[in-house]
Chains A and B, each alone.
Chain A
Amino acid sequence: MALRTLKPKKIDPSFINEVKAAGGKNIGACFQCGTCVSSCPAGLVTTYKIRKILRKTSLGLKDDVLKSEDIWKCTTCLACYDRCPRGVEPVEVILAIRNIAVRHGYFPEKLKSNLRNIINAGQLVTLTDDISGFRVELGLSENSPHMKSSKALDEVNKILEITGIEGLEV
């Protein structure tokens, strides 16, 4: 494979600082050993390679990283977090990148629908008629014992409004 030369206009040297501020604070300590990749269950079955994302981020390849489908493969199993010899906490870096991606409009549709469930019901996994009937058979209340009042849902939505997340779901 021929080596590509990076064009300066595609490089955003401030990207790494943006990622640090969003929670991936230890990214600078990565020395590319690959322990994260070899610990990663998602890496076992997809093309996702954490250290490649970390390197691209350090190099400032912002668009490339934010558009990448790979950043959404992490299961947050935290194996890399526990095993990284440099304390990079790679999961934190990936989550920080996801947060930035969402604010740049790279928000996977399925996760948008998860957010809609929170806005509408305060719950990510919502009740079905079938399960509701089964709950009664088991001697439980028809609905979950959580989210009992409209006040609770108002509070949840107020939080989403303050943090600026409400509105991103559409």
Chain B
Amino acid sequence: MRYSLFLGCVAPHRYPGIEAATRKIFDRLGIDLIDMGDASCCPAPGVFRSIDNLTWLALGARNITIAEENKADILTVCNGCFGSLNEVNYRLKNDVITRLEVNDILSKINREYKGEREVKHVVDVLYNDVGVKVIKESVAVPLEALKVAVHYGCHFLRPKTHLEHNGSARMKAFNALVEATGATNVVYRDKLLCCGAGGGLRSNDLESSLEIAKQKLENIRESGADIIVNPCSFCTFHLDTSQPALNEKYGETFRIPVLHYVQFLGLAMGLKPYELGLQKHLIPLDDLLEKVGV
């Protein structure tokens, strides 16, 4: 198995631990990841679709052509990148006129979108292509002591009409991967609520995006979870950085560690916290690591 690794902007430039964890866990699973040297921003679905739909399609299609050259499907570690690239791929595969329009633009840079590749979320790859059995076998340090609040993130689940394994099947897949580490998956209120970062809101109106995160975090705190585990670089970024910001703004006491699933699985595989970049997370993980005996 081999994939074209699409990291996007947030993982390499804000939480490089997510990139390090991705490379290390796939190395252990014996799966090749091919770097996409010529790839740009996905481009960010909320920001770029807000500016200009055709530009968003053309930049996304350009990234997909790189995976076509590699002859390997795309693997993404961010719901934003997945949302953008999967949606572009869906539209161009299903809408001939849009495809012609986009290929007309791409022809000016000597590229052509052929529609030969799939865009896969890392959760899809781990659940469908690798399988829960193999993931379970890879666990060296069971995380049984941990109560996890799972946050799926919006573009991992929606729109249901454009996803092959949709809605509850995708939730089930992510739950199974989290539980494969031995951790307990807790119930909390309004689990499908957005983290608040998307749509350009974090860029454009940080206050409102923090208010949405506050709702999410209050619900999670109420559940007594030890940690938030999610499959998105941008949600990780927003949920981790929002907590100190909210604590300062409201005198709140949010202190819930946030990990991307690849980092969480890395811990379960026995990788060291510093190899996974956990030392740079704003909400420290020390107590939690002690709890699991790492």
Contact = CB atoms under 8 A, between A and B. Distances in A.
A26 interface: no
Contact of B277 (A108, A113, A138, A152): A138
B37 A111 contact: no
Given A110-B203, A134-B280, A146-B7, A79 B16 contact: no
Chain A, interface size category, equals 35 or more
B20 A146 contact: no
Interface in A90-127: 95-96, 98-99, 102, 107-108, 110-111, 113-115, 118, 122-127
A125 B198 contact: no
Interface stretch (A4-12, A29-37, A39-47, A56-64): A39-47
Nearest to B277: A138
B230 to A, nearest CB: 14
Contact of B38 (A72, A96, A143, A148): A148
B62 A78 contact: no
A145 B19 CA distance: 10
Contact of A73 (B8, B16, B208): B208
B54 A79 contact: no
Nearest to B210: A45
A138 B83 CA distance: 28
B38 A99 contact: no
B215 A44 contact: yes
A107 B204 CA distance: 11
Contacts of B277: 134, 138
Interface stretch (B43-51, B121-129, B141-149): B43-51
Main secondary structure of the interface of B (DSSP, over half): helix
Interface string A121-159: 011111110010011001110011111110111111011
Contacts of A134: 16, 277, 280
Contacts of A110: 200, 203-204
B55 A165 contact: yes
Nearest to B216: A41
A23 interface: yes
A41 B19 contact: no
A162 B108 contact: yes
B53 A75 contact: no
Given A134-B280, A145-B7, A96 B52 contact: no
A152 B12 contact: no
Given A75-B197, A114-B203, A159-B59, A128 B13 contact: yes
Contacts of A72: 50, 200-201, 204-205
Give the interface centre of B46, B52, B59 by most chain A CB atoms within 10 Å. B52
A45 B211 contact: yes
Contact of A148 (B9, B19, B37, B199): B37
A113 B203 CA distance: 9
Interface of B: 5, 7-10, 12-14, 16-17, 19-20, 23, 35-41, 43-55, 58-59, 62, 83, 105, 108-109, 111, 154-155, 158-160, 192-194, 196-201, 203-205, 208-209, 211-212, 215, 275, 277, 280
5 contacts: A76-B199, A96-B53, A118-B43, A122-B41, A138-B17
Smallest CB-CB A-B distances: 4 pairs: A78-B158, A144-B12, A45-B211, A148-B37
Given A159-B58, A168-B51, 17 more contacts: A42-B208, A42-B212, A74-B199, A75-B154, A76-B198, A95-B50, A99-B52, A99-B53, A110-B200, A111-B50, A123-B41, A124-B41, A139-B20, A152-B39, A153-B40, A155-B38, A156-B40
